[in-house]
Amino acid sequence: MSSHQVLTGFHAVVARLRHAPESVKELYVEASRRDKRMQAFIQQAQNAKVRVLPVAPDRLDGLARGARHQGVVALAEPHLLAADVDEVLDTLEDKGQVPLLLILDGVTDPHNLGACLRTADAAGVHAVIAPRDRAVGLNQTVQRVACGAAETVPYIMVTNLARTMRQLKERDLWLVGTDDEAEQGMHQVDGRRAMAWVMGAEGEGMRRLTRETCDELVTIPMLGSVESLNVSVASAVCLYETVRQRQV
């Protein structure tokens, strides 16, 4: 059990059943729940040929290790979408698609990461990149908040973020970071080119080397009294500007 990934809640488990049902090794549900949502979920699991084990609520609590589970817990093998950035870019090149990446520097809150992954999925981001030493991994909270997006958007953690960013530049990706003191606004960015948006955590922002490695720094217009946006909201604003430009 220790080598298995613990998935909790309907969204995270349904996403895994949809994208990689063979990775689900054990699936537990609350025995006393017989509502329509649970019945539909059990039917979906059975259609995917995954055995469902009804158990008592306290057993689910123990398996979930304190995470909110909604009466559903799965133990699964880790599902790796892409091994590295080059794999993602090579696949996009073969398909003739223009890369759109999201780089997160210093995002350690699982709720923020989960929201960023959900936004990235909605905006068609091809991969999210983060440093190993200053980021949260794909834990249960991230999986739950992401509402299935952790199963569709590769989350690639790298040993040296600045070096990875330089490698992206060598592959002709334009790296755009957000900075409150930048002179240019985000709407002036050409989002039709191969690019990556670079975001820092709320408060601390990007590290110095990350900022210096960006090709361009831009600001997000702030017309009210608050000084900054949550990183997931800032990511959504920037990513959807790119989406807007690419759909024109």
| 187 DSSP assignment | G
Q: What is the pLDDT of residue 3?
A: 64
Percentages (nearest 5) of helix, strand, coil residues in the chain: 40, 20, 35
Helix (H, G, I), strand (E, B), or coil: what is residue 166?
helix
3-state SS class at 56: coil
- Asked whether 207 and 68 are in contact (CB, 8 A), the reply is no
Element of type H or E holding 43: helix 36-47
Q: What is the pLDDT of residue 127?
A: 96
C-alpha dihedral sign at 198, 244, 189, 127: positive
Q: Which residues of the chain have pLDDT under 70?
A: 1-3, 79-80
The C-alpha atoms of residue 97 and residue 215 are separated, in whole angstroms, by 21
User: Over the stretch 112-127, which tens digit does the pLDDT of each residue have?
Assistant: 999 999 999 999 999 9
The confidence score (pLDDT) of residue 139 equals: 82
pLDDT of residue 151: 83
SS3 state at 141: helix
Contact (CB, 8 A) for 210 and 200:
yes
Domains of the chain by range and CATH? 5-76 (3.30.1330.30), 85-247 (3.40.1280.10)
pLDDT tens profile 14-24 = 888 987 888 89
